[in-house]
Amino acid sequence: MKFSHNRLALFFSIIALIFSSCVPQEKLKYVQDETSTEIKPVYKQLRPEKRIRPFDNLYINVMSLDEQTARIFSNQNNSINGALNVNLLSYMVNERGAIDFPFIGDIYLVDLTLAEAKVKVESELSQYLSNTAITMKFVNSNITVLGEVRNQGEFPFFKEQINIFQALGYAGGITDYGDKSKVTLIRERNNEISYYYLNLTDKKIVESDLFYLEPGDVVIVEAINLKNRNLRPFSYSSFLATITTIVTVLIFLQP
């Protein structure tokens, strides 16, 4: 059985097209050895402690033995049943870094941790109430995930911090057409917007200062090269089936 030169050329052209159309495996996997700049047995990340910034929302609940007076300073609303609306039960830090607290006025909390802010608010309250304790939490924090993810959108989170992989988890993960080596992080600080570029295939991402996100961050996952967008990830079984089909067709077309 012999193939003509034209059929052989067609056969190898189709083979080359299939290989060139396959989505590279390094584009499909998260942290991996093949694309990591440095392989370590253990990766360390000193989680930064979140500090209060302008436009953060803080839930503050005042507790005291004197319940009547404590209720004046608490932003709880007993008329709200079920899930509490954090927009109504929180104080927003203004652009000057202060919250407007009832009867006390501005309390500057910018750049403080939650623990430090609690001490400061309790100190201010001690002028009006004795034996007080407060509960303070960050609320109404959001991150936005766009691009090649399964569920684009803005997502609230209630933890003090989340990392880049948790954020992508909220969005359903990266699609088969998303390039994990090309992820853009947009961050606004002090009215300045910065762009950062992340490679999620590199294991050292966990040691990056950008591993933990901040409220308001925007994450954009870029698409793999456009010529691959309409193709599924490479499958050896599909490849073999295609080759078998091509050979069969060529045999039947042989004069």
If asked whether residues 134 and 177 sit together in one domain, one would say no
What gap in Å lies between CA 36 and CA 69, rounded to an integer? 58
* Domain co-membership, 213 together with 247: no
Helix 5-21 to helix 236-253 angle (10° resolution) is 160
What radius of gyration do the chain's Cα atoms show?
Answer: 28
Task: Of 154, 163, 255, give the one whose Cα is nearest residue 207.
Answer: 163
What is the CATH classification number for the domain harbouring 124?
3.30.1950.10
Q: Which of 139, 156, 187 is the last residue of a domain?
A: 139
Q: Are residues 42 and 153 in the same domain?
A: yes
Residue 167: CATH number of its domain: 3.10.560.10
Judge if 149 and 193 occupy the same domain: yes
Of 121, 139, 157, the last residue of a domain is 139
Q: Are residues 41 and 154 in the same domain?
A: yes
* Same-domain status, 68 and 9: no
Structural domains counted in the chain: 3
CA distance from start to end of the chain: 11
Residues 104, 164 within the same domain: no
Residue 130 lies in a domain: yes
Question: Same structural domain for residues 160 and 223?
Answer: yes
Query: What DSSP state is assigned to residue 174?
Result: B
Q: Residues 151-176: what's their mean pLDDT? A: 92
User: Which domain does 242 fall in, by range?
Assistant: 5-22+234-253
Q: Summarize pLDDT for 100-145 with one digit per residue, the tens.
A: 988 889 999 999 999 999 999 999 988 877 777 888 888 878 999 9
What percent of the chain has a predicted confidence (pLDDT) above 70? 60
pTM: 0.67
